[in-house]
Copies of this chain bind each other. A is one copy, B any other.
């Protein structure tokens, strides 16, 4: 799965786990809701600065946003 898609899936999962709307997360991270919607759909070539801002709001390590949800240790 390509990295944009992985990032999008992780972003959406983490946002929902924290019961945040796209509007709320976008506001807290300082980006547009439309940008966030595109990112969750795997359509954005996000930058380190955006990753850092989103990770801070979601209270995760930036690296956690890029971990492939599909790769459980025993399946690699």
Chain A residues with CB under 8 Å of chain B are 2-4, 6-7, 44-49, 51-52, 61-68, 71
The count of identical subunits is: 2
Whole-angstrom CA separation of A47 from B43 in the bound complex? 13
Q: Mind listing 25 A-B residue pairs with CB under 8 Å?
A: A3-B48, A3-B49, A3-B52, A3-B62, A4-B48, A4-B49, A6-B62, A7-B48, A45-B47, A45-B48, A45-B49, A46-B48, A47-B47, A61-B66, A61-B67, A61-B68, A61-B71, A62-B66, A63-B63, A63-B64, A63-B65, A63-B66, A63-B67, A63-B68, A66-B66
A48 neighbours in B (Cβ, 8 Å): 3-4, 7, 44-46, 66
A63 neighbours in B (Cβ, 8 Å): 63-68
